[in-house]
Amino acid sequence: MNPSRRPLICGNWKMNHGGPSGVELAMAVARLAKAYPRVDLAVAPPFTALAACAHECEAANVAVAAQDLHPGASGAFTGEVSGPMLRDAGCTWVIVGHSERRQRFGDTDAWVAEKAAAALSHGLSPIVCVGEKLAEREAGTTLTVVKVQVDAVVDVLAGATQPVAIAYEPVWAIGTGKNATPADAEEVHAAIRGWLHDRSPGLAARTRILYGGSLKGDNAPGLLGCANVDGGLIGGASLDAVAFGAIAQAAQAIAAG
Ligand code: PGA
Residue nearest to atom 3 of ligand 1 (CA): 235
DSSP helix/strand/coil, 168: strand
Q: What confidence tens digit (pLDDT) does each residue in 144-200 have?
A: 999 999 999 999 999 999 999 999 999 999 999 999 999 999 999 999 999 999 999
What average pLDDT does this structure show over 95-101? 98
Q: Could you state, in order of their start, the residue ranges of all structural domains in the chain?
A: 8-69+88-171+191-255
Q: Which atom of ligand 1 has the smallest separation from the CA of 176?
A: 5
Considering the domain delimited by 8-69+88-171+191-255, tell me its CATH architecture. Alpha-Beta Barrel (3.20)
- What is the distance in A from the centroid of ligand 1 to the CA of 228? 19
DSSP helix/strand/coil, 107: coil
Q: What confidence tens digit (pLDDT) does each residue in 12-59 have?
A: 999 999 999 999 999 999 999 999 999 999 999 999 999 999 999 999
- Which is it for strands 93-96 and 125-130: parallel, antiparallel or unpaired? parallel
Q: Note the pLDDT of residue 3.
A: 83
Residue pair 194/111 in contact by the 8 Å Cβ criterion = no
Mean residue pLDDT across the chain: 97
Pocket of ligand 1 (CB under 6 A): 12, 169, 174-175, 212-215, 233-237
DSSP helix/strand/coil, 127: strand
Residue nearest to atom 1 of ligand 1 (CA): 235
pLDDT > 70: percent of the chain:
100
Q: What confidence tens digit (pLDDT) does each residue in 225-251 have?
A: 999 999 999 999 999 999 999 999 999
Q: Which atom of ligand 1 has the smallest separation from the CA of 216?
A: 3
Positions marked catalytic? 98, 169
Q: What confidence tens digit (pLDDT) does each residue in 114-156 have?
A: 999 999 999 999 999 999 999 999 999 999 999 999 999 999 9
- What is the distance in A from the centroid of ligand 1 to the CA of 229? 16
Residue nearest to atom 6 of ligand 1 (CA): 235
Q: Note the pLDDT of residue 257.
A: 87
- What is the distance in A from the centroid of ligand 1 to the CA of 75? 32
